[in-house]
Amino acid sequence: MEREYLDELKAILESSIPNEEKKKKILQYHENDIAELLEELTDEERSQLYAILGNENIAEVWTYTDDIDEVIADMDPERAADIIETMDADDAIDVLEELEEDQRKAIVEAMEPEAKEDIRAITKYDDDQIGSKMTNNYVSILNTNSVKEAMKRVIAEAADNDNVSNIYVVDENDKLIGVIELRDLIIARANTDIKTILKTNYPDFRATELVSDCLMDLREYALDSYPILDDDGKLVGVITADDVTEAVDDEMGDDYAKLAGLTAEDDQDEGVLHAAKKRLPWLLILLVLGLIQSFSMSGFESVVAALPIIVFFQTLVLDMAGNSGTQSLAVTIRALADQEDSGKEIAKAVFRELRVGLLNGLILGVLSFAFVLVFLWVTKKGVEQDAAFAWVATFKGAGIVGISLFVAMTVSSFVGAIVPVIFSKMHIDPAVASGPFITTINDITALLIYYGMAMMLFPLI
């Protein structure tokens, strides 16, 4: 049975036991549960909880608080600054970004210079750069330290930095020399040469590298943390497993936005005009493509008039072509995302998708020909307008659907594979090629193939 943590925490807060005892009991709960309690309290009750827990514990709770802007809304900027500056710089940035601009400025102004500098060291990087995801929560030692000195340093820093699974070794200029795993440091003897437990070939990233370019390596190594270096090779921060998870979530959100034809992930809290501005560019492009599709359809008015029954199967051809193109698109984008794939391997992947589309198109084209032929025979529907049922015309009508499906699926598979490659060469995110864009392109292509095939098989139209 699920425990009612919120009720239990409220009972502790409202009890008559001494504050020190309340603190011990409350801190036995996870910060996420305390954050849920915080959002339910009145301003007076929050002040009571702050006094009980102290700044550092409240700072941990704030990192799990969803509506942090409401929690801090009426708080004195100096009081809020005292709490926020005890956070890791990356967590402090996350909290500050949730606040109104005036309140954020007031709190930052009240913070200590050292805390401001830690925040500035991260915010100077663009959101799409890996440096914007790093934290200052790490332990570093000099390469001249002994094992004993290194262990003392870790013990001293552990109170303020919980990211101690890896210890980063730097020289006197803060340039990264290597990494020591905590386990190796613990089991090493005091007289052990530190170089023997030092890993010098450890994966690292430049702070200016794009997040999207780093995600593959971050996932493959699956380490607890990674060193982040500036352009001179100096250690400026680390990115932890939690930061990686957040970065992946952000990247997935951006890709999902691009899947919908958005230029950036939509925010439910932003204004209508701002949201509309985000969505408008691709909608304008899709409007133009939609008009082209409509104009193309109007050019086949005589075909529709003479062969009205083929309109019944238009959706079949367009949908199957779109499905085939989307499958090829997904495979190609995945190949492009793999940094180990060379241009030759990507070209091979495109050619493979063409062959897969051709084979699937052939199989489904034959099946659709058979189904349409049986349908026309059972219903005794004439293919041509005002015409009686005729086997030759029926075979031609079924042939329009079967051959068009075969050709459209083949072409759409190629288009779905080649478009993201072209986008990548133009330095446009291939994910933008997904969703409505590629679907509309494939619809236009399939439409031209379908009605073009009708005009070929019924040339007198």
- The pair of structure tokens assigned to 171 is 């020289």
Map out the domains of the chain as residue ranges.
5-127, 139-259, 272-457
What is the model's pLDDT at position 1? 36
Alpha carbons 22 and 398: distance in angstroms, whole number = 79
Q: What percent of the chain has pLDDT over 90?
A: 10
Which of 49-53, 241-245, 291-295, 349-353 is predicted with the least confidence, judged by mean pLDDT? 241-245
In this structure, are residues 229 and 176 in contact, taking their beta carbons and an 8 Å threshold? Answer: yes
Q: Is the pLDDT of residue 82 over 80?
A: yes
Give whichever of 3-7, 185-189, 294-298, 437-441 has the largest mean pLDDT.
Answer: 185-189
Q: Exposed/middle/buried for 384, CB within 10 Å: 0-12, 13-18, 19+?
A: middle
Give whichever of 285-289, 348-352, 428-432 has the largest mean pLDDT.
Answer: 348-352
Q: What are phi and psi of 169, to 5 degrees?
A: -105, 125
338 Cβ contact partners less than 8 Å away, ≥ 6 residues apart = 216
The mean pLDDT value of the chain amounts to 82
In angstroms, the Cα distances linking 15 to 7, 31, 48, 156, 433 are 12, 20, 12, 36, 59
Q: Any idea which residue has 């998870």 for tokens?
A: 245
Q: Is the pLDDT of residue 250 over 70?
A: no
Q: What share of the chain is helix, strand, coil (3-state, %, to 5)?
A: 65, 5, 25
Mean pLDDT throughout 66-79? Answer: 84
Q: Is the pLDDT of residue 255 over 70?
A: no
In this structure, are residues 181 and 209 in contact, taking their beta carbons and an 8 Å threshold? Answer: no
pTM over cut 0.85: no
What is the model's pLDDT at position 219? 74
Taking the domain 5-127, which CATH number applies? Answer: 1.25.60.10
Alpha carbons 137 and 115: distance in angstroms, whole number = 13
Each residue of 357-407: pLDDT tens digit? 999 999 999 999 999 888 888 887 777 766 677 888 888 888 999 999 999
What is the model's pLDDT at position 406? 94
Mean pLDDT throughout 168-183? Answer: 89
What is the model's pLDDT at position 396? 85
Chain length of the chain: 461
- Chain centre distance of CA 135: 20
Confidence of residue 122 (pLDDT cuts 50, 70, 90): confident
Each residue of 49-72: pLDDT tens digit? 888 998 889 988 898 888 888 888
Taking the domain 272-457, which CATH number applies? Answer: 1.10.357.20
In this structure, are residues 138 and 237 in contact, taking their beta carbons and an 8 Å threshold? Answer: yes
35: left (phi over 0), alpha (psi -120 to 50) or beta: alpha
Q: 46-64 burial by CB neighbour count: b if 16+ within 10 A, else e?
A: bebbbebbeeebbbbbbbb
Alpha helices in 260-313 (DSSP H): 272-298, 301-306
Considering only CA atoms, give the Rg of the chain. Answer: 31
**CATH top-level class of 139-259:** alpha beta
- Chain centre distance of CA 262: 13
Confidence of residue 159 (pLDDT cuts 50, 70, 90): confident
What is the model's pLDDT at position 264? 52
Alpha carbons 215 and 199: distance in angstroms, whole number = 22
In this structure, are residues 181 and 199 in contact, taking their beta carbons and an 8 Å threshold? Answer: yes
Partner residues linked to 139 by β-bridges: 167
Q: Is the pLDDT of residue 226 over 80?
A: yes
Greater model confidence, 159 or 229: 229
